[in-house]
Chains A and B, each alone.
Chain A
Amino acid sequence: MLQGNSARGGLRLEAHKERSTREPIAQASAPALAVLPLDQHAGHPAMPIVAIGDRVAIGQAIARPTGDVSAWLHAPVSGEVVGIEPRPSVTRDCMPAPSIVIASDARETRHPPERTIQDFLAVDPLELREWIGRGGIVGLGGAAFPISAKLATGAQAAELALLINGAECEPYISCDEMLMRERADDVLHGARILMHALQAREGIIALEDDAPLAAESLRAALAKIEDDRIRIQIVPTIYPSGGERQLIASVFGREVPFAGLPPDIGILCHNVSTAAAVARWVRDGEPVVSRVVTITGDGVERARNLEARLGTPVAQLIAECAGYTPRVERLLMGGTMMGMPLSTDEVAVVKGTNCIVAASAMDLQPRQPEMPCIRCGNCSEVCPAYLLPQQLHLNARAMDLAGLERYGLMDCIECGCCDYVCPSQIPLVARFREAKPRLAEHLRARDDARDSRLRYESRAARLQRLEAEQRARLEEKRRQARRKES
Chain B
Amino acid sequence: MEFPTSQPPHVVAPNTVARFMRIVIYALLPTMAVHVVFFGPGLLIQSALAIAAALAAEALALRLRKKPLRQYLTDGTAVITALLLALCLPPLAPWWLVVSGTAFAILLAKHAFGGLGMNIFNPAMVGYAVLLVSFPAQLLTWLPPDVPELRTTELSFWQTLTTILTGHLPDAFRWDAITSPTPLDALRTNLAMGMTMQEAHASPIFGGFGGRGWEWINLATLIGGIALLALRIIRWQIPVAMLGSLVVCASIMYAFDPGAYAGPVFHVTSGASMLGAFFIATDPVSAATSDRGRLIYASGIGVLTYTIRTWGGYPDGVAFAVLLMNVAVPLIDRYTIPRIYGHAERP
Interface of A toward B, CB cutoff 8 Å: 2, 4, 171, 245, 249, 255-258, 260, 315, 324, 329-332, 334, 336-345, 359, 363-369, 371-378, 380-381, 384-388, 390-391, 406-408, 411, 416, 419-425, 427, 429-430
Q: A429 to nearest B CB, angstroms?
A: 6
Bound-state CA distance A416–B10 (Å) is 9
Whether B71 pairs with A369 at a CB distance below 8 angstroms is yes
Q: Contacts A256-B342, A345-B3, A372-B115; is A339 near B12 (CB within 8 Å)? A: no
Residue from B10, B15, B75 in contact with A359 in the complex, judged by beta carbons closer than 8 Å: B10
Q: Contacts A375-B284, A377-B284, A377-B289; is A407 near B337 (CB within 8 Å)? A: yes
With A336-B11, A337-B10 given, can you name 6 additional A-B contacts, CB distance below 8 Å? A337-B8, A376-B284, A380-B290, A391-B337, A424-B17, A425-B16
Asked if B340 lies at the interface with its beta carbon under 8 angstroms from chain A, I say yes
Instruction: List which B63-97 residues lie within 8 A (CB) of chain A.
Output: 71-72, 75, 77
Which residues of chain A come closer than 8 Å to B13, judged between CB atoms?
Answer: 365, 420-421
Residue from B3, B118, B343 in contact with A342 in the complex, judged by beta carbons closer than 8 Å: B3
Which residues of chain B come closer than 8 Å to A342, judged between CB atoms?
Answer: 3, 5
Q: Contacts A2-B344, A406-B337; is A416 near B15 (CB within 8 Å)? A: no
Which residues of chain A come closer than 8 Å to B339, judged between CB atoms?
Answer: 386
Which residues of chain A come closer than 8 Å to B312, judged between CB atoms?
Answer: none
Bound-state CA distance A432–B216 (Å) is 48
- 28 pairs, A vs B, C-beta closer than 8 Å: A2-B344, A258-B341, A260-B342, A315-B1, A330-B4, A330-B6, A332-B8, A336-B11, A340-B8, A342-B3, A368-B16, A371-B72, A371-B75, A372-B118, A374-B17, A374-B284, A375-B284, A377-B235, A385-B341, A386-B338, A390-B289, A406-B347, A408-B340, A408-B343, A420-B12, A423-B15, A424-B16, A425-B15
A interface footprint on B280-305 (CB within 8 Å = 1, 0 otherwise): 00001101011000000000000000
Whether A422 pairs with B12 at a CB distance below 8 angstroms is yes
Which residues of chain B come closer than 8 Å to A429, judged between CB atoms?
Answer: 7-9
Which residues of chain A come closer than 8 Å to B118, judged between CB atoms?
Answer: 372
Whether A375 pairs with B285 at a CB distance below 8 angstroms is yes
Whether B11 pairs with A341 at a CB distance below 8 angstroms is no
Whether A343 pairs with B340 at a CB distance below 8 angstroms is no
Bound-state CA distance A171–B339 (Å) is 29
Q: Contacts A371-B75, A371-B116, A388-B290; is A411 near B12 (CB within 8 Å)? A: no
Whether B2 pairs with A249 at a CB distance below 8 angstroms is no
Whether B340 pairs with A386 at a CB distance below 8 angstroms is yes
Which residues of chain A come closer than 8 Å to B20, judged between CB atoms?
Answer: 374, 376, 423
Whether B5 pairs with A330 at a CB distance below 8 angstroms is yes
Closest to B282 in A: A376
Q: A382 to nearest B CB, angstroms?
A: 10
Q: Contacts A315-B1, A330-B4, A336-B9; is A422 near B15 (CB within 8 Å)? A: yes
